[in-house]
Amino acid sequence: MKTIEDAIQRIKVPDSAWRAKAQERLRHQARPAGSLGILEEVGLRLAAIKRTLDVRLASKVIVTCAGDHGICEEGVSLFPSDVTPQMVYNFVGGGASINVLARHAGARVRVADLGVAHEFPPDLPIFHCKVAPGTRNFARGPAMTRDQAQRSLAAGIGIVSALEADGPLDLLGTGDMGIGNTTPSTAIIAAFSGLPVEQLVGRGTGIDDQGLARKAEAIRRGLELNRPDPRDPLDVLTKVGGFEIGGLAGLTLGAAAQGIPVVCDGLISTAGALIACELAPAARHYLFAGHNSVEVGHRYMLERLELVPVLNLQFRLGEGTGAALAMELIDAATRVLADIKTFEEVSIQDAQT
């Protein structure tokens, strides 16, 4: 699809010269070198992306992509699928966890319907991008068609364009809502990594041991039946993915194409980011891991993407909550780089070797 190809071709590696300038400033600041840990690396990466030592992230948006999943027929979640649309209404009403944490971070929340099994009113203020009312059960066949996978990616790219049309977008956060979506996300990392499903599967909404066994078995059956090709990220998405995961992948591609840094949330958001980076490896340069989820598969995704999470708070909620909290520290990293004085600026002599 031309939209996807165009976005991939427009992704450029950030400016290494600006990273070097930022590194030089950090090296001369009036404090021990490396003493602010990961904030320094975040600042370096943002300087290279934004091409300035004084990065300002005034406009922050978190897009929560929603979709339903046929794999829920296998009893992989504690909650029924009709919770998904109810939560979308809660997001729009401002009463969900993501709304509270985003407000604290100074970020707006926008919701996108990529595949919820519910017809929302046309005037509901969300992105109406429904590909279909939920995926098919991938334990019994492909989750979607290849065309549907492409449409979900294109929808995410289009959302970034729509946000930019409304004004500058400095930082994008990605979040998810979809009952059962830890199952396709785990299947995605299993397909790419080749690791045993038992090593990757987690409890999602809090399923018991029997539920965990059902979930692992459903993923194994789906992988054996559909044989997703790890060399073809679209095939992986088609065979075992979700519409909202495709949308999240599109958000990552669309933002990277526009030079916008992306903060992904937990397992599901990172599954989308992983699809994007397998399609366009350069997109990884724009990606920040908001946190390390307790979902075990998330760790393997982060390792594959070579990302160090900003936070480790034992979260397993989704929605974009981890991304929202990480935005506050990412903001702090910009001030570390720009505002901490150098030894020379404060006339401290003989402090460096």
Residue 265 DSSP SS3: coil
- In angstroms, the CA 204 to CA 66 distance is 16
Instruction: Kindly list the distances between the CA atom of residue 296 and the CA atoms of 6, 125, 190, 250, 349, in Å, as whole numbers in the listed order.
Output: 34, 34, 12, 24, 48
Which listed residue (40, 74, 295, 319) is catalytic? 319
Structure tokens at 76: 């992989």
**Chain mean position to CA 272:** 6
- In angstroms, the CA 253 to CA 260 distance is 10
- In angstroms, the CA 299 to CA 304 distance is 9
> Is-contact 129 155, C-beta < 8 A?
yes
- In angstroms, the CA 171 to CA 191 distance is 30
Clarify whether 319 is annotated catalytic.
Answer: yes
Active-site residue set? 319
